[in-house]
Amino acid sequence: MTNYFNQICEFRQNHPIISNNAIRTDNPILNNVKNALNNFKIELEKKYLKFEGIDLKIEVSKGAANFPNVAHVCLLPPNQKVSNGIYVAICFDKSGKGAVIGCAESKTNPKGLNIQIRKRGKHIPEIDVDGGSSNTKYNNVFENPKDFYYQIVEDSELENHIEKSLSLCLYNLKLITDSKYLQTNDYLNSTINEHEIEYFNIENIKDDRKRIAVQINARRGQKKFRQKLLDAYNSKCAVTKCEIVEMLEAAHIYNFKGSDTDKIPNGILLRSDIHTLFDLGLISINPENYFLKVSHKIMTDKYYADLNNKKINLPQRIEDYPNKASLQHHYENIFN
């Protein structure tokens, strides 16, 4: 599978997009990339024509008169179309850098997915999958986008995210209610139940959240939970010691799934930017020694790089320390 993925990338590397000079679909120069796309489709069909008991079909971009600037392969659940539906999309970068994969919706007929904004204003993501027309701008159609960079070596790199994306897609379509391929962080969270529970146990979690979009004004967390963390951490960010209360947010370590996760040991008080990086898996905390770990992806930023391997500031009471099982889950499953 990865062999064909890499061949598709290499085509665009060798044949970059030239304005007003599209490649006609009958041009022999396309033979290799067409074969790669078809073989990629065949490999996907071997694994995913039936997934979680649901029949799927797989479509490859062909173009009408001209070969598309953004080549793509889509895995479609029943009654879903690329132009009108929810499905898994594999969209290849315009310059051959790789592809972005995830649960996606139609650009022209959005279905209300909690999409992530990959391209905003002048910010262009490294893996750029916006085509030339308004109907082929795919950067901002993914709920769980993940970038895969050329040159991929292991099939498992693709398969793991495709399976997760398929499960999320079927969940959004209400064709399944849960999946072994999804972790708690794969669901978006929203409102918080304000039940007071004294102890947190990662093994006794009940999922009673509602799946609606996360709003920025709710980032500080539920009022009582946040106040508990402010008290536990003496109103200081656990990482930066920032004391500007308005910037401090109640971060869940094990992603929010209702009242069972709304406990002090499953929370940590973080400055807003640190909270965002934590949720994105760009920083994490070693559960063995409470040292902060910074992803290689942001080590180019000196400020964040300097935080690497520094011990976080812990609450005064041992019983309020971050739960090690929660930290272990984040460290092993979320941290990138």
> Which CATH number fits the domain that encloses residue 7?
3.30.920
Do residues 167 and 314 both lie within one domain? no
Do residues 209 and 159 both lie within one domain? no
Do residues 204 and 282 both lie within one domain? yes
Q: How many domains does the chain have?
A: 2
Contact (Cβ atoms closer than 8 angstroms) between residue 266 and residue 252: yes
Long-range Cβ contact pairs of 205-213 (< 8 A, separation 24 or more): 205/254, 205/257, 205/258, 205/260, 205/261, 206/257, 206/258, 206/259, 206/260, 207/257, 207/258, 208/257, 208/258, 208/259, 208/260, 209/256, 209/257, 209/258, 211/114, 211/187, 212/188, 213/114, 213/188
220: which 2 tokens? 């500080």
Which residues are bridge partners to 57 per DSSP? 76
Q: Is residue 64 part of a domain?
A: yes
Chain position carrying tokens 């009958």: 26
Do residues 120 and 35 both lie within one domain? yes
Do residues 300 and 161 both lie within one domain? no
Do residues 233 and 103 both lie within one domain? no
Do residues 120 and 269 both lie within one domain? no
Residues 239-286 pLDDT 10s: 999 999 989 998 988 876 556 667 889 899 999 999 999 989 999 999
Q: Is residue 179 part of a domain?
A: no
Q: Is residue 185 part of a domain?
A: no
Residues in the chain, overall count = 336
Do residues 11 and 146 both lie within one domain? yes
Domain that holds residue 26: 2-172
Q: Is residue 187 part of a domain?
A: no
**Residue 301 pLDDT:** 93
**Residue 203 pLDDT:** 62
Q: Report residues of the chain scoring pLDDT below 50.
A: 184, 187-199, 208-221
Q: Is residue 180 part of a domain?
A: no
Do residues 151 and 39 both lie within one domain? yes
Q: Is residue 184 part of a domain?
A: no
Do residues 103 and 242 both lie within one domain? no
Do residues 145 and 224 both lie within one domain? no
Backbone φ and ψ for 40, nearest 5 degrees, come out as -60, -40
Do residues 157 and 241 both lie within one domain? no
CA distance 229 to 245: 11
Q: Is residue 221 part of a domain?
A: yes
